[in-house]
Amino acid sequence: MFSSRTNWLLSPNRLSLEIEELRRKGRPLLDLTESNPTRCGLVFDQQGIFEALVNPQALAYTPDPRGLRSARQAVADYYAERGIALDQAQIFLTTSTSEAYSYIFRLLADPGDDILVPQPSYPLFEFLAGLNDVRVIAYPLFYDHGWQIDLRTLETRLEARARAILVVHPNNPTGSFVRRDELAGLLAFCRQRSIALVADEVFVDYSLGADPQRVVSHAAVTEALTFTLSGLSKISALPQMKVAWVVVNGPAQLLQDALARLEVIADTYLSLSAPLSLALPKLLDTRRTTQPQILGRVRSNLQSLDNQLEANRLVSRLELEGGWYAILRLPATRTDEDWALEIARQDGVLVHPGHFFDFSSEGHLVISLLTERAIFEEGLRKILARVAFEVQPLRPEGA
Ligand X SMILES: Cc1ncc(COP(=O)(O)O)c(C=O)c1O
Q: Which member of 55, 96, 300, 308 binds ligand X (CB under 6 A)?
A: 96
Q: Which of 233, 286, 290, 368 binds ligand X (CB under 6 A)?
A: 233
Cα 241 from Cα 199, distance rounded (Å): 22
Q: Is 300 in the site for ligand X (CB under 6 A)?
A: no
Residues within window 165-184 making contact with ligand X, judged by CB under 6 A = 168, 172
Specify which residues 141 forms β-bridges with.
Answer: 149
Helix (H) and strand (E) counts in the chain: 13, 14
> Shortest distance, CB of residue 104 to ligand X, whole angstroms?
13
Closest CA to 204 of 232, 235, 173, 179: 235
Q: Does 102 bind ligand X (CB under 6 A)?
A: no
Nearer to ligand X, 90 or 97 (CB): 97
Q: Candidates 73, 98, 148, 153: give the one binding ligand X (CB under 6 A).
A: 98
Could you tell me the end-to-end alpha-carbon distance of the chain, in angstroms, rounded to an integer?
Answer: 61
Nearest approach, Cβ of 96 to ligand X (angstroms)?
3
Helix (H, G, I), strand (E, B) or coil at 278: helix
Going by DSSP bridges, is the β-strand pair 196-200/226-231 parallel, antiparallel, or unpaired? parallel
Note whether 97 binds ligand X by CB under 6 A: yes
Stretch touching ligand X by CB under 6 A, among 37-45, 93-101, 182-190, 291-299: 93-101
Task: Give the residue, chosen from 37, 118, 175, 231, that forms a contact with ligand X under the rule CB under 6 A.
Answer: 231
Locate the DSSP E strands across 242-396.
244-249, 316-317, 325-329, 349-350, 352-353, 364-368
Binding residue (CB under 6 A) for ligand X from 34, 200, 321, 336: 200
User: Does the protein bind ligand X through residue 122 (CB under 6 A)?
Assistant: yes
CB of 125 to ligand X, least distance (A): 9
Among 244, 247, 343, 365, binds ligand X (CB under 6 A): 244
CA 164 – CA 209 distance, rounded (Å) = 29
Under rule CB under 6 A, residue 384 binds ligand X = no
Strands (E), 133-289: 135-143, 147-149, 162-168, 196-200, 226-231, 244-249
Residues near ligand X (CB under 6 A), total: 12
Q: Contact at 8 Å (CB) between 353 and 313?
A: no
Considering the rule CB under 6 A, would residue 304 count as an interface residue with ligand X? no
Cis peptide leading into 170, omega within 30 of 0? yes
Please identify, among the stretches 13-21, 95-103, 260-268, 287-295, the one whose residues bind ligand X according to the rule CB under 6 A.
Answer: 95-103
202, 215, 272, 279: residue in contact with ligand X (rule CB under 6 A)? 202
Does 123 sit behind a cis peptide bond, omega within 30 degrees of 0 on the bond before it? no
DSSP run (H or E) holding 185: helix 180-193
Residue 98 vs 308, nearer CB to ligand X = 98
Would you tell me which residues interact with ligand X (CB under 6 A)?
96-98, 122, 168, 172, 200, 202, 231, 233, 239, 244
